[in-house]
Amino acid sequence: MKNLTMILKITFALVAYILSFTLLYYTPVYQEFVYALNSPVRALIVVNVINLVVIAVGYKKILLMVNIVCMVISTPSLLFHSKLIMRAFDFQPDHFMPDYVTAFIFLIIVILLMAARWLERLENQTNQMISDGALEDDVNLIRINSLKIYPAFFGLILILCVSLILLGFIAPNIIASKYILIIMAVTGITLIVGSVFYLYRKWVKK
Amino acid sequence: MPKYISEISTLFLLMLCGGFLLANNIMIIVSVIPLCLLAFGYYLKASDDVIVKKAISKNRVAVDEELEINLKVRVNSGVGPVEICDAVPAHFELVRGSNYCVLWKGFEPVEHTLSYTVKCTTSGNYFFKATLWKSRHIVCNYSIDGICENDLSVEVTPRLLQLKKVRGMSAASRVPLPEGALATMGMTTQEFKEIRQYYPGDPFKSINWKATSRNLLRGNVWPLVNEFEKEGKKTVWIFLDTSRIMAFGSNLKNVKEYSIEAVYSLSEFYLGQNCSVAFHTYGGSNVFINQGSGRQQQYKILRELMKIKYGGLPVLKPQVRIKNLEQSVYSCREFFVGLRPLFIVVTRFCTNNYDEILKGINMMSKYTMLRKGYLPSIMVVNIMGYGLMAENQYEVLASNVLEALNRVISRSIKKNCIWIDWDPAKESLTGALLKQVVAAK
């Protein structure tokens, strides 16, 4: 069971890193870098070596470093899909990965990194319990039940976010009047912010 | 509110605001993840309703006796792992089982029984008040700490070291009885001693009719009589060192605990010999129990001994001066009038208290019998504690060297008293006393 969590954790972190690098690859920044080095292979090696060095520097908290590196290298892709930046630097969105694909990949990266962190936390907690004198069977039960609940949570988040992605990228294509669009946007924002304040207030009251 | 929730809320708002500021759909969509965490954190609660019922096998145990503790834990609400830890007071050693367990709380209430056995290593009053629990949220990174309290307490009495072997050798032994040989068949005092069976010759007025009638119901036809203490008992004064020198050893094995056991055993022995025993501490706490006899006196001494152990050294007011052995003996001088008591000093000898012990013995010599060719009735029980801390052969060697050094230094004091070296790591108190007897032969 312990090996399984370890393998899952490494796999998640590795896949997240590969996906992050894929996002980076399809950005103008990386293409400029390739152009500067005059070799795609050399650029690939240089970027990965830099990332590995950064991860190795914080080897004691390796997963945290992987998280930081993944977020840093996927940020350019995210930013180049911002309308503000596209207009400011006069980029053509056709040159990049489609925005719904970027959104989906970014979502997968976030979920994989979260899952890896949670598995690490679970491992630390169970190790702590065993060292405190808990029975192996009880700890295994906790481990199994936690591993059952995590996929359910991630599945729910994935479904919710994918439906939002679909909605987010279909909605702009709907031909509607200006007022309807404004009403839709205001309703969406109010719903989200309202639910956050509702939950936050509930927590504060508790 | 857990710190985690405020962090998640902040993250959500930052992502949402960033998304709107940069007109970035992806950031707005991803900001839903912290929102989901917030919702899960609230609606899927961590366990916060834990009920613990605790029971202990005995309320009073002796040192080194085992005590069984049972806990019934019930977790009513929430989902996730729950850790239960029953707090065991210091000086207790876990013998069997574990005072810690983890549970998985599903959607149904869960019950668990936790049993373990502890051994009490030091005398005193101890409270088994708290059972700590910690429940973790299954998704969010926060936990709830709680405590279940009760009013269970245990009285741990010092171990009674049996000194029976020495009794039979009193003729050969230099372990003395008091020489102030006053008659033990003296006048009856008002001090109640015990209820015993009637023997022919006992006065009828001493019959306890209530106790006799109760006894009759149990099928015993013999009457019971009240017995009171007699005047003219031999007197023993026990002085216990409570200075910092005695605080040597670990939590589980220390000189202080052995000194208490020695005092308790010696007082029990001399009270059993129909002597009157007084108890005085010096060097730290200032406990004084005037001379008395019988079980009541034994109980008084025990009670004070347990307080010394439990409370540690009391915080003395600035104007109260700590008395050394000489000053303690001198302050009790009016009690020695007409008596020739036996003095017993229980201490741990080292170079630091050489002068103190020497002066104390000289002071005691003034009040006890001095016969030519005999040692004065002063007995020093020296608890050699170096061996208690030795863990490997080098430390054992070092402790042997230090003890040998102390033997050399104490040689001049030994001439004026009966000196008993007791190493609790190697031998029992009886063994130490018998060794002294053999040496005397």
Tokens of B33: 């993840």
The per-residue DSSP string of B306-323 comes to: HHHHHH-S----TTSPPP
Q: Please tell me the predicted confidence (pLDDT) of residue B170.
A: 47
Residues of A in contact with B106 (CB under 8 A): 145
* Spatial distance between the Cα atoms of B256 and B348, rounded to a whole number of angstroms: 9
- Asked if B87 has any chain A CB less than 8 Å from its own CB, the reply is no
Contact flag B139-A161 (C-beta cutoff 8 Å): no
pLDDT at position B3:
75
Distance CA B244, CA B255 (A): 11
Residue of chain B minimizing CA distance to A100: B26
Give residue-wise pLDDT tens across range A76-116.
888 888 888 887 877 776 667 788 888 889 989 999 998 99
Q: Do A203 and B101 touch (CB under 8 A)?
A: no
Cβ contact, residue pair A79, B25, below 8 Å:
no
- For chain B, which domains are there? 3-43 (no CATH), 50-157 (2.60.40.2260), 164-183+232-440 (3.40.50.410), 191-229 (no CATH)
B25 to A135: CB separation less than 8 angstroms, yes or no: no
B13–A196 CB contact, under 8 Å: yes
The runs of H, that is alpha helices, within B241-392 are 255-272, 294-311, 325-331, 354-365, 386-389
Q: How far A39 CA sits from the closest chain B CA (Å)?
A: 31
* 8 A C-beta contact, residue B240 and residue B263: yes
Q: Do A145 and B23 touch (CB under 8 A)?
A: no
Provide the shortest C-alpha distance from residue B184 to chain A (in Å).
59
Give the contacts of A143 (CB within 8 A, at least 6 positions apart): A1, A5, A122, A126
* Chain A hits for B12, Cβ within 8 Å: 196
A125 touches chain B (CB under 8 A): yes
Residue B385's nearest CA partner among B344, B418, B425, B436 is B425
User: How does B19-45 read in b/e, with b if 16+ C-beta sit within 10 Å?
Assistant: beebebbbbbbbbbbbbbbbbbbbebb
pLDDT of residue A19: 94
d(CA B361, CA B414) in angstroms, rounded, equals 10
Do A91 and A80 contact (CB within 8 A), yes or no? yes
CB-based contact, A146 to chain B, within 8 Å = yes
pLDDT band at residue A135 using 50, 70 and 90 as cut-offs: confident
Shortest distance between the Cα of A63 and any Cα of chain B, in A, equals: 16
Give me the pLDDT at residue B387, please.
Answer: 79
- On the CB side of B363, how many CA atoms lie within 13 Å of its CA? 18
The answer to whether the complex's ipTM is over 0.90 is no
Q: Which of B29, B36, B138 sits opposite A165 (nearest CB)?
A: B29
Mean pLDDT, residues A137-143 taken together: 88
Backbone angles phi, psi at A179, to 5 degrees: -65, -40
How confident is the model over A3-51, as pLDDT tens digits? 888 888 899 999 999 999 999 998 888 888 888 888 888 999 999 999 9
Torsion of CA B58, B59, B64, B67, to 10 degrees: 40
Q: Using an 8 Å CB-CB cutoff, list chain B residues near A160.
A: 32, 36
pLDDT digit string (tens) for chain B, length 441 residues: 567 777 888 888 888 888 888 888 888 888 888 888 888 877 888 888 889 999 888 888 888 888 999 999 999 888 889 999 998 887 888 888 888 999 998 888 899 999 999 988 888 888 888 899 999 888 888 888 899 888 888 888 887 776 655 444 444 455 565 555 444 455 677 777 778 888 887 888 889 999 998 888 888 888 899 887 666 667 889 999 988 888 888 777 788 888 888 898 889 888 888 888 999 998 888 888 888 888 888 888 988 888 775 444 444 455 556 788 888 889 888 888 767 788 999 998 888 888 889 999 888 888 876 665 666 788 899 988 787 777 788 888 888 898 888 888 888 888 888 888 888 878 888 778 777 655 444
SS3 B57: coil
Instruction: Give the Cα separation of A163 and A166 in Å (integer).
Output: 5
| Contact residues, A window 13-72, toward B, CB-based 8 Å cutoff | none
For the record, the structure tokens of B404 come out as: 């040998």
Best mutation target among B4, B10, B11, B30 (most A Cβ atoms within 10 Å) is B30
